[in-house]
Amino acid sequence: MEAFTKHDRRLAGRYVVDAVRALGWADRSLLNMPSSDPLWKLQHSVLASHAFSPRGLAAARGVRERKVRELLGHIRARAGQEVELGRALYGGLINLVSSAFFSVDVVDMDAAAGESAHGIREHVGNIADLMTKANVSDLFPFLQPLDLQGLRRAAARHLGEIFRIVDGIIERRLAENAASGDGSGEHGDFLQVLLDLMSTGKVDRDTVKAIVFEIFLTGGETTTVTVEWAMAELLRNPSAMAKLRAEISGALGGKETIEEADVAALPYLQAVVKEAMRLHPVGPLLAPHKAVDDGVEVCGYAVPKGCTVFINVWAIMRDPAVWDNPEEFMPERFLGKAAEVDFKGKDFGIFPFGYGRRQCPGMPMAERVVPHVLASLLHAFEWRLPEGMSAEQLDLAERFTTSNTLAVPLKVVPISVAA
């Protein structure tokens, strides 16, 4: 992958669509700012050293495990009923993210079957749709001030609703800090790190809101999509489901609940997660890169400064020159010596989180949460398809906006397993 190994810095720019400029988001967004921007460097450093550092993740482990137990309780209350899995997962995982980083739940899982979570996800989904729609403002930048199709205005409405939620979180924390007397409150979480930066003038409030929003965006949606794809593939492949359930039962059958540390003893689980990510990367094209210098040559082709570069990881991870039977769900390909193959960027046959300076900073959390949630779901429940549906009838068609989701949401029937 010459684009990453040789030209990582030169291709680390971002192509920014006009819809992302709504409410000044693009100017404060880690996802969209150029990596040379001092604010990008500050945000990246803060995330790496606090939110996603080994120490930071270890400190929040108990919170994450508690939120997974609450998710299981929410599903257990609906045992025997048809459940839209992605919807249930999103509510639990968005609370996992918000509690781990900001010490607050943002949705009531049991209020109207998670309608508040669905509302947040709907706003996020609408923003994603607007970002991927063809826009005359992107084709002819001189027309951007007119916003002829209204995409930036629509994005502003949805971002405004999410920023309103984030503003409430910030305001409540500031009030708690003020009431504590010393201005710092009792929380030592990532939100407090951001507010401390804000108090010293290193970032402004709008930047804090952008950071919080992007943690919700990447932490809630991408984890939900990955777990849903893994479950869909297991239901489509009953032998793999049985093999994984047997591994979990054999290693951890005596435990009432599964902890994050337990997944290290489950190699087939790790293989299932890798295979789900290989077949169904959340970002099939990654985020668009842009050449920031002249003189870049990739595979014999000159890439001029300012040129947009798409990395089709979906195709790379299905390349028959790299993988045997690349279209088939075969977790066994990641067992034995192949268990050393990981998705952290070391192996260019599978890198769903990207590579180099533009690699997703939340990867260390995803590699903890995704297998833990999946193992917990399979430990606590048997999973069946709706009555009358066979495994062969399960629709695995993909829908791509900024993320790669199931075109038809996965509906399942959880059956509680006796402790």
Cα–Cα distance, 19 to 198 (Å, whole number): 27
| Phi, psi dihedral angles at 302 (to 5 degrees) | -75, 135
Contacts from 107-116 at CB under 8 Å and sequence distance 24+?
109/70, 109/71, 109/74, 110/74, 110/77, 113/87, 114/74, 114/87, 114/88, 114/90, 116/91
How is residue 233 written in tokens?
Answer: 């593939």
| Phi, psi dihedral angles at 415 (to 5 degrees) | -120, 120
Q: Give the number of other Cβ atoms within 10 Å of residue 112's Cβ.
A: 9
Cα–Cα distance, 124 to 118 (Å, whole number): 10
Cα–Cα distance, 409 to 395 (Å, whole number): 9
The residue type of 201 is G
Cβ(34)–Cβ(40) below 8 Å: yes
Tell me the binding residues for heme: 360
Residue 215 contacts by C-beta under 8 Å, 6 or more apart in sequence? 51, 97, 101, 190, 362
Q: Which of 105, 80, 53, 25 is closest to 413 using CA atoms?
A: 80
Residue 179: exposed, middle, or buried by beta-carbon count in 10 A (0-12, 13-18, 19+)?
exposed
Tell me the binding residues: 360
Q: Which helix (H) or strand (E) holds 297?
A: strand 296-298
